[in-house]
Amino acid sequence: MTDFLLAVVSWPLAIVGIVFLVSGAVGLVRLPDLYTRLHSASVTDTGATLVLGFVLILQALVVFGSFMAAIKLLMIVVFTLLTAPTASHVLAKTALLTGQVPVDGQGKPLLESSEAATRLARSRVDATDAEDA
């Protein structure tokens, strides 16, 4: 009975995780520029990691009875959830700093020049600017 319940829970979740992975792969191939591709990859990392990590933790606990493997899998999931969004942000910020201009769905630039992209990446509100506003 336990194996049946585990299968009822695990297989649909595994399929959802696979859908996340496939949609991310399609997004990497089909989307127009670096920023949208980066978003696709980041969402795929986060979503697929959560769902597939949960499935693997269930399998480790129920099928293999290994609490230590479940702890290690949980640590992998937490580490990925902390680092993937940070890495995506850093990559996007670096692309803006180097002058990579984002484009819309038709391939038209959203900014007037690469200098505008660099200015946008360098702009931020300082604490003194926030107090003045």
| Sequence ranges of the domains in the chain | 2-132
Structure tokens at 100: 């990579």
What burial class does residue 17 get, using C-beta atoms within 10 Å of its C-beta: 0-12 exposed, 13-18 middle, 19+ buried? buried
pLDDT (0 to 100) of residue 79: 95
Q: Which pTM does this prediction carry?
A: 0.77
pLDDT tens digits, one per residue of 89-108: 999 889 988 888 888 877 78
pLDDT tens digits, one per residue of 70-91: 999 999 999 999 999 999 999 9
Amino acid identity, residue 13?
L
CA distance 55 to 49: 10
pLDDT (0 to 100) of residue 133: 47
pLDDT tens digits, one per residue of 44-68: 889 999 999 999 999 999 999 999 9
Mean pLDDT score, 5-31: 92
